[in-house]
């Protein structure tokens, strides 16, 4: 096996290509680990961010949401495991190869939709969601935030377990994903 890419041979690349394939299917396990890590982030809310994510996913599931809607409800804040201020864009880019363009934009912008409920307390415009009313994904963003995300800060709510969502994550994310 080469030690400088400049020296690569077809045989080297056949080995590397085959070894890469096993990693295509590890995305669900990585996402589960990232969700688990949210247990360590409370950030002033009444419940930790794992409980919040599970409650958001559970509310979506009990609201007859589609598989993709349940998945993005569960994962919309997974970017907080990396960085809180940019968590929307981080999660959106992370999930983008596996979800629809509408779902991508919902995750990317969901904080501005939540802003309706708190931006005024931060000196910001609480109506920023109005900038997106013409977008194809506006209705989904409203549904995700108003029905599942914003009400999901109850530490006493009996959420579905993280493991109960694993088959769904396997179904959507256990694939190479589209190339961006």
- Nearest residue (CB) to Fe ion, 69 versus 149: 149
Binding range to Fe ion, per CB under 5 A, among 40-48, 64-72, 134-142, 146-154: 146-154
- Nearest residue (CB) to Fe ion, 69 versus 77: 77
Return the closest-CA partner of residue 117 out of 105, 126, 106. Answer: 126
SS3 86: coil
Question: Which one-letter DSSP state was computed for residue 84?
Answer: S
Q: Minimum distance from CB of 48 to Fe ion (Å)?
A: 12
Q: Which residues of 51-73 are buried (b: 16+ CB within 10 A; e: fewer)?
A: bbbbbbbbbbbeeebeebbbbbb
Q: Minimum distance from CB of 21 to Fe ion (Å)?
A: 34
Q: Minimum distance from CB of 38 to Fe ion (Å)?
A: 10
Q: Give the max Cα distance, the chain.
A: 61
Q: Quick check: 79 and 113 in contact, CB under 8 A?
A: no
Binding residues with Fe ion: total (CB under 5 A): 2
- Nearest residue (CB) to Fe ion, 68 versus 149: 149
For CA atoms 64, 67, 68, 72, the dihedral sign is positive
Q: Minimum distance from CB of 149 to Fe ion (Å)?
A: 4
Among 34, 38, 65, 77, binds Fe ion (CB under 5 A): 77
SS3 125: coil
Structure-token pair, residue 163? 């493991």
Binding range to Fe ion, per CB under 5 A, among 38-46, 73-81, 119-127, 165-173: 73-81
| 149 is a site residue for Fe ion (CB under 5 A) | yes
Residues binding Fe ion (CB under 5 A): 77, 149
């Amino acid at each position: 096996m080469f030690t400088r890419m400049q020296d690569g041979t077809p045989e080297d690349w056949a080995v590397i290509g085959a070894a890469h394939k096993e990693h295509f299917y590890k995305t669900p396990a990585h996402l589960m680990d990232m969700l688990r890590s949210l247990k360590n982030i409370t950030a002033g809310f009444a419940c930790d961010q794992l409980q919040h994510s599970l409650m958001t996913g559970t509310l979506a599931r009990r609201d007859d949401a589609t598989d993709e809607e349940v998945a993005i409800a569960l994962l919309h804040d997974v970017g907080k495991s990396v960085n809180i201020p940019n968590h929307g864009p981080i999660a959106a880019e992370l999930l983008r190869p596996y979800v629809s363009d509408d779902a991508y934009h919902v995750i990317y912008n969901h904080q501005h939709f939540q802003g309706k409920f708190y931006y005024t307390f931060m000196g910001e415009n609480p109506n920023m969601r109005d900038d997106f009313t013409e977008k194809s994904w506006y209705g989904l963003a409203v549904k995700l935030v108003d029905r599942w995300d914003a009400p999901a800060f109850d530490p006493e709510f009996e959420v579905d377990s993280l493991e109960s969502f694993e088959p769904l994550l396997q179904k959507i994310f256990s694939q190479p994903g589209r190339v961006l």
